[in-house]
Amino acid sequence: MSESKCPFHGSTTTPNLGTQNKDWWPNQLNLDILRQHDTKSNPLANFDYKKEVKNLDIEAVKNDIKTVLRDSQDWWPADYGHYGPFFIRMTWHAAGTYRTGDGRGGAATGAQRFAPLNSWPDNGNLDKARRLLWPVKEKYGNLLSWADLLVLAGNVAIEDMGGPNHGTALGREDIWHPEKDIYWGDEDEWLGDNRYGKTRQDLENPLAAVQMGLIYVNPQGPNANPDPALSAQDVRETFKRMAMNDEETVALTAGGHTFGKAHGAGDEALVGPEPESEAIEAQGFGWLSSHKSGKGVDTITSGIEGPWTTNPIQWDMGYLTLLFKYEWECKKSPAGAWQWHPVNCTEEDMVPQVDGSDEKVLPMMTTADMSMKVDPEYRKICERFLENPDAFGEAFARAWFKLLHRDMGPKSNYVAGDFKDVEYIWQDPVAAGKVLSDNEEKAVRAELANSGLTQQQMIETAWASASTFRGSDNRGGANGARIRLEPQKNWEVNNPSQLASVLEVYERIAADKGASIADIIVIGGAVGIEMASGTKVEVTTGRGDATQENTDINSFELLKPKACGFRNYSEKEFAVSPEEIMLDKAQLLGLNPVEMTVLVGGLRALGVSHSGDGIWTDGKLDNSWFKELLSMDIKWYTSGYNSYNGVDRATGESVRTASRTDLVFGSNSELRAIGEVYAQDDNNEKFVKDFIAAWNKVMNADRFDLN
């Protein structure tokens, strides 16, 4: 290679500048999702935000945001002299990426600052909203994360425009690079929709948007087909995947569109590229428009043009009133987008132009808005809200609060803020449990050791309970002991018959010793490991027991593992490999590659395998599993889907079986390198120590009072 062709000799920054491993081996297991958000990328690695945000003067911040709301900037003028609707859209689009399928997305990380979200078509011009807020972020610095500010700004905007609001909980910590674990779809073009099966409702899991680069639905209708009835189907499915029922969906739609306008003043071809594609001199600004001034009345964002209500910066009943007052006809916006205009609109319902001029414009509705009127169930709710504005306001406040906080998990993560002290079932409430004294815990351990339960039964029960946790939205986990409730107690992966017999013993011990069943489950796992290792496993008690009444069955059903590599379980054959599913689960549990490796090796050594594969040792917690895996005495052969036979090279005898989630620790070079460390003769003690540490990390993942 000539010197002029390649001016540097280090690592390439752009994949097409050099052939990468993934180019040679596209099916290679990529462990990067377990290594993201390292301290090396975090300029505040030693800063305890959850502690320090308690020192923030939230009222002072809110006042500063209110100043920004009315301080219109010439470089991006405020519609109607108030940035409130703009900030509400920013907040909505930060939170609205959340989906229940895997708990990923949402506002909890400040991810809207990074690709791909910062450049999604649906987020057009929100780069300007964040720049408008920079003076506030600059002033309060480390005490206020971007993640919290993006949420708080929308709430302050609603409050400032007279809307109902249940406040903001703070405690969201920023990330510092794009999330690598979130699957947004496999389309290779914006607004592509290669995500459906045979029907419109057969939307690929865990996705919750109808097209690539949208938050929920196309406002023009499915693939820009202006059919309100079909649009209602899209709205219902996508909002359901955001954990919203019909009433919440209507409240959010009607309440959110009470404010502001859509922008489609001219030809979309005049709009420049998104932020990530812009030239360096644009400094992160995207969608720069050459249509007249490119801003204010000339703004092009969604392509839809016009306000929803007569008073776009005031909370009122205008949206629902206009929606039902008029018949609406389908028209094209100046940008060529389908939208709806009122037939024979009266002068009193005309809307002032955004620049404060004497010009008046027609209100409009999108096809998605029209679905609120056309769909029978949505219409009933709309009519009820029209009759009772107070009920509408309260429903909006509750749904909006849920939208912004669903991915924060339990209320224990609300470390500061001005939120109403109301408890909702979607917060997965669990009352605090009793912290056992040393003597009380010692008595529980003795009872468990003499209960007749095997170490495997106790370990499997503890893992089944705790491993439901997912760090994406802080749901699941051992606290609450929901494994004894519907739906978890009947999941096949949890071996229901064995689970029932174990829980019967645990309930008796809990009642006898005055401990929570949740603590008994975790202590039982510790006792099982101690029996297998001879090493003490510490437990921090204080977990509480949830009730069936404060457990949302439908919501918790979404935590059900369809496959679990840690337990060698799979309910069927999937298009995605078992090891990739295991990797995804490890990321949701907050594990790094070393922790994943040591947990799988340890669980197999302890006899944990739903299929029976991968059990090669005598049940002791030691490094023998890794030694067996790496032994050259065994040759492996495929015997079926996710099934392998190990044959003794000397005798030809079939001596063991394995799954892909066993053998990947020997086949993948990175995982093998970790496994070799633990297989060494001098690292058995290290293996036991590291296993227990990783085990306790999972057991305590939902102990937000400790973390």
Enzyme catalytic residues: 93
Taking the C-alpha atoms of residue 308 and residue 319, their distance in angstroms, rounded to an integer, is 6
Contact 228, 370 (CB under 8 A): yes
* Rounded Cα distance, 345 and 474, in Å: 48
Q: 648: Cβ–Cβ under 8 A, 6 or more apart, which residues?
A: 633, 634, 654, 655
d(CA 454, CA 528): 7
Category of 521 on φ-ψ map: left (φ > 0), alpha (ψ -120 to 50) or beta: alpha
Interatomic CA distance for residues 698 and 575, integer angstroms = 28
Residue 426: both structure tokens together: 């979607």
Cβ proximity of 96 and 242 under 8 Å: yes
H/E stretch holding 588 reads: helix 578-588
Helices assigned H by DSSP within 412-482: 438-449, 455-466
State phi, psi for 321 to the nearest 5 degrees: -60, -50
Residue 518 · residue 454 · CB < 8 Å: no
Length of the chain: 707
Tokens read off for 249: 């969906």
> Are residues 53 and 141 in contact, defined by beta-carbon separation less than 8 angstroms?
no
Rg, Å, the chain Cα set? 28
Is 37 strand, coil or helix? Answer: coil
CA distance 508 to 493: 24
* Burial class of 630 by CB neighbour count within 10 A (0 to 12, 13 to 18, 19+): middle
Q: How far apart are CA 269 and CA 654, in angstroms?
A: 66
Reported as type and span, the H/E element at residue 673 is helix 669-679
For residue 70, what is the enclosing H or E element? helix 58-70
SS3 546: coil
State the Cα torsion 297-298-304-309 to the nearest 10°. 0
Q: Across the strands, what pairs with 308?
A: none
Angle at the Cα of 422 from the Cα atoms of 105 and 699, rounded to 5 degrees: 55
- Give residue 644's identity as a one-letter amino acid code: Y
What's the DSSP call for residue 646? E
Q: Which amino acid is at 52?
A: E
**β-strand partners of 338:** 332
Tokens of 257: 């569109």
Q: Dihedral angle at the C-alpha atoms of 655, 656, 660, 661, nearest 10 degrees?
A: -140
**Alpha carbon distance, N-terminus to C-terminus of the chain:** 52
Q: Where are the beta strands (DSSP E) in 530-603?
A: 563-564, 569-570
Q: Compute the distance between CA of residue 228 and CA of residue 224 in angstroms, rounded to an integer.
A: 11
Residue 382's nearest CA partner among 482, 255, 497 is 255
75 closest CA partner among 267, 294, 354, 352: 294
Tell whether the torsion through CA atoms of 682, 685, 689 and 692 is positive or negative: positive
